[in-house]
Amino acid sequence: MKLKLSAILLMVSLINIGAIAQPAAQEKQLIRARFNLSGQHYQEALSVLNTGQSSTTLVPRWTLAKAYALAGSGLLNDAAVLFEELIELFPAEASYQLSLISIQEHDTEHALGYLKTHLQSKDHFPEKRIKLDRAFTGLENDRAWINLWQENWYTQSEQTIGEADYLISNGQFDEALLSLENIPANDHYYPVACLLKGKALRGLNQERPAMKAFGESLSGSRLNERSLAEALDYFISEELTDLAAITVNRLYTIDPSNPEYYISKALIQLGKGTGSSVVTEMNELEELGIGSSELYYQAGLKLQDKYPDRAMASFTKAIDSGIMDARYYFSRGILKCSHTQVESGLDDLAMSLDINPNQPELYVERGELRQVLGDVEGACHDWQKALQMGNPKAADLIYKYCR
């Protein structure tokens, strides 16, 4: 019966994939602003949001986008006021951003207070993501930080999912499946468990049961945006276009002002290789202020882990479009360096800095590359630059290698 329901769901979604409505004028403004945010063009986003006008239904997302734009522009107090207003609507997201703002203001007490609020929300980020966030570098020995993490914020199911995800990344598919069996169907994280089951089953070349697991994941996810977004990334990267089509429709229903979903819809058509549909999607993106270069860039991001050669080609297409975007060169540079094209990769990173010199994380990455290559002086120079820009990880690297 479940297979029949999945088949019906698939057919309905495929019928509707081309039916994502064109956004209204106010929605287009918000989509453009959020697209600018994704490229860290905070002033441009703020300009769109200040000159535009949101409809009643768009107010929460509009306010959230404005808060991000203000924070990115360095207007931390103004951003904090808006995030405070949104903490009831977006408890996990707003509290985490307030924690990051407090860290930037060197207010550890409030930063950890907001982080505790974030951890208390059901949509909190995985522990690994938080602890690897460079904003919190240097707090490892802080007593309040240690006390915070002595509390058990994560359920057994979350811990099992983290372990299973790690096992899958290491090719231990049978072990992952065995651990995931302990998560019951009525658990909040069951849809995520089903997605991981599908990944593990595909790793074992068991395609049919994998498709069943993916169907259960989508059916159970309902309006869980984070779970669906994770599934969408996987389906696109694995070229499971039918499942990707189902997922992007669901996500669009949840948040029709998210530019990533329009880009994903175009990537799906690009994956299908249907010429006329691709042209249509490209035209729709252009109307939203999103050029084809961004489509190729996003394709590269989706492909880089499993198909590095194809990702490289996509990044190159984005660059060849003539748009001078620091992200394009940064991503291609890192990919080249990780695949033995170090000299060319460093050239790309240098070009990225020429376009946008304010990239502390790039200086950290390039410094680490130079250190591995034996250029300690160059590495230390990069880390000094990153430290001057406020990157906390740079201090640890300087202490370790530059004394």
Query: The pTM is what?
Result: 0.78
Element (H, E) at 399: helix 392-401
pLDDT digits (tens, 9 = 90+) for 193-231: 999 999 999 999 999 999 999 999 999 988 789 899 999
**Are 294 and 263 a contacting pair, CB within 8 Å?**
yes
Q: Side chain identity at 151, as an amino acid letter?
A: E
State the burial class of residue 374 (Cβ atoms within 10 Å of its Cβ: 0-12, 13-18, 19+): exposed
> Which residue in 71, 147, 70 sits closest to 103, CA to CA?
71
Q: How far apart are CA 361 and CA 220, in angstroms?
A: 37
Rounded mean pLDDT of 133-160?
91
Q: Cα 236–238–242 angle (5° rounding)? A: 60
pLDDT band for 128, please (50, 70, 90 cuts). confident
Q: Which residue has the tokens 């669009």?
A: 252
**Are 37 and 45 a contacting pair, CB within 8 Å?**
yes
> Which residue in 53, 3, 64 sits closest to 26, CA to CA?
53
Q: Cα 35–36–39 angle (5° rounding)? A: 95
**Are 71 and 79 a contacting pair, CB within 8 Å?**
yes
Residue 169, both tokens:
């990344």
* Residue 183 to residues 67, 155, 156, 187, 188, Cα–Cα distance (Å): 37, 11, 9, 7, 9
**Are 303 and 314 a contacting pair, CB within 8 Å?**
yes
Q: How far apart are CA 372 and CA 376, in angstroms?
A: 8
| Orientation of helix 360-372 relative to helix 376-388, angle to 10° | 160
pLDDT band for 12, please (50, 70, 90 cuts). very low
Q: Which pLDDT belongs to residue 174?
A: 97
Q: Side chain identity at 159, as an amino acid letter?
A: Q
**Are 190 and 220 a contacting pair, CB within 8 Å?**
yes
Residue 354 half-sphere exposure, CB side, CA atoms within 13 Å?
9
Q: Which residue has the tokens 């990239």?
A: 359
Q: Which pLDDT belongs to residue 117?
A: 97
* 192: Cβ contacts below 8 Å, ≥ 6 apart: 161, 217, 227, 230
**Are 73 and 64 a contacting pair, CB within 8 Å?**
no
Q: How far apart are CA 29 and CA 134, in angstroms?
A: 32
Q: Side chain identity at 279, as an amino acid letter?
A: V
pLDDT digits (tens, 9 = 90+) for 238-251: 889 999 999 999 99
Q: Give Dmax over CA atoms of the chain in angstroms.
A: 66
Q: Which pLDDT belongs to residue 41?
A: 87
* 247: Cβ contacts below 8 Å, ≥ 6 apart: 218, 228, 231, 232, 235
pLDDT at 1 over 60: no
Q: Which pLDDT belongs to residue 125?
A: 93
Looking at 86-189, list the stretches that DSSP marks H as alpha helix, in order from N- to C-terminal side.
91-104, 108-120, 127-132, 143-150, 156-169, 173-180
**Are 138 and 395 a contacting pair, CB within 8 Å?**
yes
Higher local confidence (pLDDT), 285 or 324: 324
Neighbours of 317 (CB within 10 A): 17
Distance of CA 120 to the CA centre of its chain: 22
pLDDT band for 93, please (50, 70, 90 cuts). very high
